[in-house]
Amino acid sequence: MEIPYTVHARQDTGLYNAKLGIWLFLASEVMLFGALFSTYILLRVGAAPGTWPHGLLNVPIGTLNTIVLITSSITVVMAWASLKMNQFSRFKLFQAFTIMLAMTFVIIKSFEYHDKFTHYEVILNDGKVVDGHLVEKTQEHVVIHPAAKHGQHAAEVKIETSQIKKMENYGPWHNTYLAIYFTLTALHALHVIGGALVIAYLWGPGSQMWKTDPERFTNRIEVSGLFWHFVDLVWIFLFPVLYLL
Amino acid sequence: MKNDQHSHHEISLVVRRYLFVFGALLVGTIVTVLASFIPFGIVAVNVAVALFIATVKAFLVAGYFMHLISEKKMIYGILVATVFFFAGLMFLTVWAMRPASIVHIKNVP
């Protein structure tokens, strides 16, 4: 038995199955990210005055990633428009760019994560705090490269292990801000990876359908594109909230 | 038969619109970053400006890239329900932030 409305729209709804399905799915995604955004707002407003960290994230890198994701959104719609104009080779070119941009986003994000996991706050026995990136760690000592202040590079600091009271990196366990930052951005990055895998499948083996059922294939590209734009849309709010405010 | 329900001319016009939206999104991103460095005096103003620009950008993505400005009624119905529940969620959040209900962790004995 053939499944109806995989290509042409139902008369009463004006939609084909996959389009209705993706919009229902996106509605559930709005609630998922909405719950996390409301969590962020509660934590942000509930923090005691002056305790919410600022300047922990690299704004130029965040801006670059925003531009990467926005550019991937235009390549997705251009790929869909290419199919509408029966230009399959252009579709392949645009979606190849989309996949590369998705990978670029994830790579940049992983560099940001790596920076946080190698950034340490070291509390010494005398109460002093050394804050910077870990250069070397042995059983006897650690070497920290403190962050540059006012454009001036600080020299590396060698600390004996016996002098250290507490040492912790800037992972999600470090403070509430980093906990919600990692939760939101990691969930978003998983969406980027998931979306990129679907787009890559439709670019590679899945594109065989263009030869047999071009309209259905074009619908699939539209649906994967809708998910991709949603991922872009979430980032449009995540960027100012986490990086700038 | 390949996709022929849209004429080339029609699609070219849509593509031109996509490129315009893309430019607007890039400008919006730069404006967001620049606005965050302007000391408005009150943090709430900075937050409002950033969220306003983000909302305009979101409207452009949803409206044009996701074709929401010319969608079917069924999609609008789904979105109205989503907005209703999302607004409810945010209302509960704001309601929970009444000064009387906020207890700073620092002040807990």
Q: For every residue of chain A, which 3-state class applies, written as one string? A: CCCCCCCCCCCCCCCCHHHHHHHHHHHHHHHHHHHHHHHHHHHHHHCCCCCCCCCCCCHHHHHHHHHHHHHHHHHHHHHHHHHHCCCHHHHHHHHHHHHHHHHHHHHHHHHHHHHHHCEEEEEECCCCEEEEEEEEECCCEEEEEECCECCECCCCEEEEHHHEEEEEECCCCCCHHHHHHHHHHHHHHHHHHHHHHHHHHHHCHHHHHHHHCHHHHHHHHHHHHHHHHHHHHHHHHHHHHHHHC
What backbone torsions phi and psi does residue A37 show, to the nearest 5 degrees?
Answer: -65, -40
User: Are A140 and A216 contained in the same domain?
Assistant: no
Final residue belonging to a domain, choices A169, A189, A209: A169
Residue A226, C-beta contacts closer than 8 angstroms, at least 6 positions apart: A19, A22, A23, A26, B66
Q: Tell me how far apart the alpha carbons of residues B77 and A230 are, in angstroms, rounded to a whole number.
A: 18
Tell me if A162 is assigned to some domain: yes
ipTM: 0.89
Of the candidate ranges A3-7, A62-66, A95-99, B43-47, the one whose mean pLDDT is the lowest = B43-47
Which among A186, A194, A231 has a CA at the least distance from the CA of A69? A231
Domain assignment of residue A32, yes or no? no
For residues A147 and A77, state if they share a domain. Answer: no
**Domain co-membership, A124 together with A231:** no
- As a whole number, mean pLDDT of residues A127-142 equals 93
| Residues in B 10-49 with any Cβ partner in A closer than 8 A | 11, 14-15, 18-19, 21-22, 25-26, 29-30, 32-33, 36, 43, 46-47
Percent of chain A topping pLDDT 90? 84
Are A192 and A184 in contact by the 8 Å Cβ rule? The answer is no
A151 or B23, which is more confident: B23
Identify the residue with better confidence: A204 or A50: A204
Evaluate if residue A108 carries a pLDDT over 80: yes
Residues A69 and A152 in one domain: no
CA–CA gap between residue A103 and residue A111 (Å, rounded): 12
Residues of B in contact with A30 (CB under 8 A): 82, 86
**Chain A within 8 Å of B85 (Cβ-Cβ)?**
yes
pLDDT at B109 over 60: no
| Phi, psi of A165, rounded to the nearest 5 degrees | -90, -45
User: The whole model's pTM is what?
Assistant: 0.91
Contact of B70 with chain A, judged by CB distance below 8 Å, is answered with no
Question: How confident is residue A131, by pLDDT bands cut at 50, 70 and 90?
Answer: very high
Instruction: Report yes or no on A66 lying in a domain.
Output: yes
Same domain for A112 and A212, yes or no, is yes
Within a domain: A90: yes
B58/A contact by beta carbon, under 8 A: yes
Chain B residues close to A76, C-beta within 8 Å:
65
Å between A71 CA and nearest CA of chain B: 7
Tell me if A229 is assigned to some domain: yes
Q: Is residue A49 part of a domain?
A: no
Asked if residue A185 and residue A110 are part of one domain, the reply reads yes
Do A111 and A178 belong together in one domain?
A: yes
Q: Which domain holds residue A164?
A: 120-169
Q: Are residues A187 and A159 in the same domain?
A: no
User: Is residue A180 domain-shared with residue A104, that is, in the same domain?
Assistant: yes
User: For residues A144 and A146, what is the distance between their CA atoms, to the nearest angstrom?
Assistant: 6
Confidence (pLDDT) at B1: 42
Sign of torsion over alpha carbons A43, A47, A50, A51: negative
Whether residues A61 and A99 share a domain: the answer is yes
A42 assigned to some structural domain? no
Please say if the pLDDT value at position A129 is more than 90. Answer: yes
Rounded Cα gap, residues A207 and A6, in angstroms = 16
Supply φ then ψ for residue B102, to 5 degrees: -85, 125
Report CB contact under 8 Å: B19, A74: yes
Measured between CB atoms, does B98 come within 8 Å of chain A?
no
Residue of A nearest to B68 (CA): A226
User: What is d(CA A155, CA A143) in angstroms, rounded to the nearest whole number?
Assistant: 10
Assign residue A205 the CATH number of its domain. 1.20.120.80
Give Rg (Cα) of chain B: 21
Contact B15 A236 (CB under 8 A): no
Q: How many separate domains does chain A show?
A: 2
Q: In the predicted model, what is the mean pLDDT of residues A82-100?
A: 97
Which of the two residues, B84 and B99, has the higher pLDDT score? Answer: B84
Chain B contact set for A9 (CB, 8 A): 72
Shortest Cα distance from B36 to chain A (angstroms)? Answer: 6
Task: Say whether both A158 and A221 belong to one domain.
Answer: no
Supply the pLDDT for residue B107: 53
Contact status, residue A210 vs residue A88, Cβ threshold 8 Å: yes
- Say if A164 falls within a structural domain: yes
Tens of pLDDT, residues A160-216: 999 999 999 999 999 999 999 999 999 999 999 999 999 999 999 999 999 999 999
pLDDT score at B65: 96
pLDDT at B97 over 80: no
A134 and A184 share one domain: no
The mean pLDDT of A116-143, rounded to a whole number, is 94
Average pLDDT for residues A69-91, to the nearest whole number? 96
Residues A163, A169, A175, A177, CA torsion sign: positive
Q: Is A114 exposed, middle or buried (0-12, 13-18, 19+ CB in 10 A)?
A: exposed
B16's CB contacts (< 8 A; 6+ apart) are none
Asked if A68 contacts B38 with a C-beta cutoff of 8 angstroms, the reply is no
CATH number at residue A153: 2.30.30
